[in-house]
Structure 1
Amino acid sequence: MAQPHGLDDAAAEPNRPQFSYPPLERGLELPPGVNGWARPEFRGVVRVFALAFTRYRVGGGAICVYVDGEPVLDLWAGQAQKGEQWTRDTAPVIFSASKGVTATMIHRLVDRGLLEYHAPVARYWPEFAANGKGAITVDEILSHTAGLSRLTGIANSYEEMFDPDLMADRLAAAPVDRYFGKPAYHALSIGWLMGRLAKAVTGKELEELYRTELAEPLGVDGIHFGKPPEHAPSQPAALTPHLDRVARSGFIRRAAPPVMGVLDRVPGGKGAASTLYMPGAEMLLADDGHASAPTMDMRCGAASACCAAPALAKLYAALAGDGSVDGTRLLSPEITEGLGRKNSYRIDHTLGIPMGWHRGYHSLAVPVIGGGFGHIGAGGSFGWADQKRKISVAIVHNRLPSTMIFDQAIIGTFLPSIIRAAR
């Protein structure tokens, strides 16, 4: 059978493990530089993707969409790292979109009765009860209301951020801050909290849980906690070289104190900086062009996932339906239905904007797309589920921050375009 337009050699290798990714189909004739396929009704999405990832020839990215549990679009373009083009198996770090992946793993544990949303965290992790935190629930951690958002007093150096056990121990010993009970984005701390909570009831690290609770049940390779193993079908992507130069220049370290001062005066919150930055943390984003960014090695469930678009879209396809996809059940219908119930939008005391947090995901107070949930990461990578329309979307890329304003704007047009095409 003839190969579809845009099918790259790596995806066509007969001896390469394919897992259960859906086969590529022949669809629209794609623009130059774009690989994959799309159903004809998604031609508008294809045009936007081509504009975003071929026009400026900086980095690369991929998008995959499911409707009613079936793939309708699977595209990729651009450069993954020095001398290597993006393929269907490229799995870049997705930054804060990692939170949605880690939360989905937590829901698997709830589904099996190992955790309960309304139970105190200390039931599973007794040390967490220190400093009056004995009543904080699993749901309060997942909704960013646990009062443990800041790094102050938790990480004393950049190097300590690479020790998830140390971070979890310090969070367990810490008192809550003044935002306890109010939404305040736990930019990094939620990753260490979810990781230790999962370890407390399974005895396993997130590396193993990502594989056994997510990738293997879904029949995919492209969901990894940290950089994919060297011989895995999934391959990591490097961040763009512009970011490496900024990280190594010392500019961020010099600019951080005055910028943090400004952010601390953001109305409604104290700014995001103290939730994720300390001197030296800019090096998390340094990359020599060969997928060396330390953020992939930080082992934080809030920021270190590396995902290929087809795998991430398949995960969210289960969440957009009854908890199953492609004949595989990831979550029970009852648990899955509960993920779509949203808290009301409230001002987040970290970000200073209205956010709808619910069980590890967020929604957006935006017309047309307001009915979905998922998690967006820095630069615009995200996984998204819309249970009303049975749509799931995954967009991943490596362009942060060289075209960040453009990317955030152009990526923001994908969801409305997809929803219109799927009607």
Structure 2
Amino acid sequence: MPSTTEPVPPVHGHCDPRFSAVRTAFEENFRDRAELGAAVTVLVDGESVVDLWAGWADAARTRPWERDTVVNVWSTTKGVTALCAHLLADRGLLDLDAPVAAYWPEFAATGKESVRVRHLLAHRAGLAGLREPHTLAQLYDWELTTARLAATEPWWEPGTRSGYHAFTYGYLVGEVVRRVTGLLPGAFLQQEITGPLGIDFTVGLDEKEAGRAAELVQPPISDNSELAALFAKLEPVAEAALGNPFVGAADANSPEWRAAEIPAANGHGTARAVAALYGILARGGRCGERQVISPEAAERVREGQGRCRDLVTGAGFPHETELGLGLWLSGANGSYGPNPRAVGHDGFGGSCGLADPEAGISLGYVMNRMGWHIADDPRKMALIDAVYSAL
């Protein structure tokens, strides 16, 4: 994202003096990296050491970003959806090594009878996108989308490598959650985790909360041919994952998007909420005084499934990466700091959740001016670098 040298808006919240570098990086994101509105929260051993917000909640700059402003965090939602599956596994209600068809019998069609639940969590099910055209309106239809996924054949041999399941992840993991509990993942999350813990995060957004939602702003692109050129470089599986359907900021600002259940991409929350949810994984399954999942379940999330060049994200992120069971490992790339076993998840446009159990750190970063980076947005990386420089 190009430098704009914009004035730094007033920054609100608190920052422990030890982490003053984070505040500096946050301010630089506004001055040098075209930030519009954003918030960042850092927890150390569950205690808040950084909780900052600044800027504007809309493109016209008429609504200041407030303490309780929520925003769509795109794929940062996936880590939260994965947490729901791990909670069920921890309770003995879901076997991650069982075939998906044991819970969802229709899924066994077209050679998928041996696909395991862990393959869904690690983007290794071969179902990164649908083969037949799928519109945005159809994406809002849970029954139709899951039925099509159950009927479709994999793009590659399941379990052999990863291919980022941009939208389908939420329907695949989410339908297993629904088959086990009778609840869609958003309702299960609220009932079992966010509701009891008072965490301000939802899948979708209730209409009555729309007034505190930030407006997403798409990054500029010169013309349609530039976007077409980007998609022309993609392999068919990547094109299906990222463009069938293609969803942009304007779509995600709509009441229809917010009303839908899209557990891979339409989580709405504050940076504080993201840090709290990822903090469960940073603290051995704890949030405050509550043991949400066992330490063994929290550690299982980091169980690496093998490094490879991802079949979808490899187009714009060409080095090898490794997924655990629902989150990306920081690895040698340092995507989530210098600890290779730290984990996290980026969202389209720049948002991020991070968990580092060894350091006891979790981080939530949310924003509304989207960038074009597939991962490791410079604003996110500046904040992460600043956190670790303080340790």
Q: TM-score range by the shorter chain?
A: 0.7 to 0.9
Moved over 4 A (4+): 54-58, 254-258, 403-407
Tell me if the contact between 2:9 and 2:30 (Cα under 8 Å) persists in the aligned partners: no
Which one of 47, 57, 71 corresponds to residue 70 of structure 1? 47
Structure 2 CA distance for partners of 1:207 and 1:389, relative to 1, 3 Å: same
Which one of 231, 235, 242 corresponds to residue 276 of structure 1? 242
Counterparts of 2:376 and 2:283, CA distance in 1: 29
Aligned to 2:276: 314
Tell me if the contact between 1:218 and 1:330 (Cα under 8 Å) persists in the aligned partners: no
Tell me if the contact between 2:329 and 2:340 (Cα under 8 Å) persists in the aligned partners: yes
**2:329 is aligned with 1:360:** no
Aligned to 2:301: 339
Aligned to 1:301: 263
Tell me if the contact between 2:128 and 2:237 (Cα under 8 Å) persists in the aligned partners: no
Tell me if the contact between 1:185 and 1:350 (Cα under 8 Å) persists in the aligned partners: yes
Measure how far apart 1:225 and its partner are. Answer: 0.6
Aligned to 2:388: 419
Aligned to 1:133: 112
Aligned to 1:262: 233
**2:216 is aligned with 1:239:** yes
Tell me if the contact between 2:205 and 2:268 (Cα under 8 Å) persists in the aligned partners: yes
Amino acid at match of 1:163: D
Amino acid at match of 1:392: S
Aligned residue-pair number = 373
Counterparts of 1:418 and 1:216, CA distance in 2: 29
Counterparts of 1:286 and 1:159, CA distance in 2: 14
Which one of 115, 126, 144 corresponds to residue 166 of structure 1? 144
List alignment gaps of at least 5 residues for structure 1: 1-30, 265-269
Structure 2 CA distance for partners of 1:88 and 1:326, relative to 1, 3 Å: same
Aligned to 2:99: 120
Measure how far apart 1:255 and its partner are. Answer: 5.5
Structure 2 CA distance for partners of 1:381 and 1:57, relative to 1, 3 Å: closer
Tell me if the contact between 1:297 and 1:304 (Cα under 8 Å) persists in the aligned partners: no
**2:381 is aligned with 1:381:** no
Which one of 158, 173, 198 corresponds to residue 180 of structure 1? 158
Tell me if the contact between 2:348 and 2:374 (Cα under 8 Å) persists in the aligned partners: no
| Higher Rg of the two aligned structures | 1
Structure 2 CA distance for partners of 1:370 and 1:62, relative to 1, 3 Å: same
Counterparts of 1:117 and 1:71, CA distance in 2: 33
Counterparts of 1:47 and 1:86, CA distance in 2: 18
Q: Deviations over 1:294-344 (max 9, x none)?
A: 543442111110111111111111210121121122111110122233233
Amino acid at match of 2:87: R
Aligned to 1:13: none
Counterparts of 2:255 and 2:389, CA distance in 1: 37
Which has the larger displacement, 62-71 or 144-153? 144-153
Structure 2 CA distance for partners of 1:133 and 1:271, relative to 1, 3 Å: closer
Counterparts of 2:11 and 2:67, CA distance in 1: 11
**Length-normalised TM-score, structure 1:** 0.81
Which one of 370, 378, 389 corresponds to residue 409 of structure 1? 378
Counterparts of 2:207 and 2:197, CA distance in 1: 18
Which has the larger displacement, 319-328 or 406-415? 406-415
Counterparts of 2:122 and 2:12, CA distance in 1: 38
Tell me if the contact between 2:303 and 2:325 (Cα under 8 Å) persists in the aligned partners: no
Which one of 364, 378, 381 corresponds to residue 394 of structure 1? 364
List alignment gaps of at least 5 residues for structure 2: 1-7
Measure how far apart 1:274 and its partner are. Answer: 1.9
Measure how far apart 1:347 and its partner are. Answer: 1.4
Amino acid at match of 1:418: V
**Length-normalised TM-score, structure 2:** 0.87
Tell me if the contact between 2:350 and 2:379 (Cα under 8 Å) persists in the aligned partners: no
Counterparts of 1:49 and 1:293, CA distance in 2: 30
Counterparts of 1:57 and 1:136, CA distance in 2: 43
Aligned to 1:88: 67
Counterparts of 2:375 and 2:36, CA distance in 1: 13
Measure how far apart 1:215 and its partner are. Answer: 0.8
Tell me if the contact between 1:271 and 1:351 (Cα under 8 Å) persists in the aligned partners: no
Tell me if the contact between 1:60 and 1:397 (Cα under 8 Å) persists in the aligned partners: yes
Measure how far apart 1:405 and its partner are. Answer: 9.9
What is the SS of the residue equivalent to 2:76?
helix
Which one of 27, 38, 44 corresponds to residue 15 of structure 2? 38
Measure how far apart 1:388 and its partner are. Answer: 1.0
Counterparts of 2:163 and 2:139, CA distance in 1: 20
Amino acid at match of 2:107: F
What is the SS of the residue equivalent to 2:55?
strand
